[in-house]
Amino acid sequence: MSKALFITGASSGIGAATARAAVAQGWHVGLFARSEGKLKALVDELGEQAVALPGDVTDLKNLEAAMADFAGRTGGIDAVFANAGMGLSVAGTDAGDPEEWERMIRVNVLGVLWTVKAAMPHLKQRAGHLLLTGSAAGRRHIEGSVYGASKWFVHGYGGNLSEEMKSFGSLSLNALNFARDWRYLRRYFVKLTI
């Protein structure tokens, strides 16, 4: 039986690269992002193992519906990758744009929370795996970095969530820093299909 991976922020960058790596190892992938055109192009590239699920990570109901749709098509979800994120056009607090901060917090913080909330029932059914996109910026202090603070949240929440998930049995979680952990992610898909 093929494994199923749901990816937020799947239309480009780390999300699209992860989808390619997963499909190469036989996984089915649910590709969730706002960019319908990019999702369609990626599905055309990846073939029948990929499903485009256009939506907005800042909308919990949107995520719940997309995961239910994907689980219905694949028989369940084995892994969820909370990857959607955004940076800022201007660094620092003094020069920063509060409206842009709010958009980023909705994606980088609330988007992670909503993804995990929507994923939990599916992952419990399969003793699944949860991946969160962190950053080296969330592991060290960077002068005035509001973006870095959003990634501190991801790493802190990942640790707290790991403790919570222990009560669910064999679910597992990783908060990844892709500058360091990209090789792990590529091996993860090989490891789970052997």
Rounded Cα distance, 6 and 77, in Å: 7
3-state SS class at 1: coil
184 is catalytic: no
Rounded Cα distance, 151 and 159, in Å: 13
Helix runs in the chain, H state only: 13-24, 36-46, 60-74, 98-105, 111-126, 146-165, 178-193
- Residue tagged active-site, from 147, 157, 184, 188: 147
Rounded Cα distance, 1 and 4, in Å: 10
Please say whether the beta carbons of 82 and 18 come within 8 A.
no
Q: Which sequence positions are flagged as catalytic?
A: 147
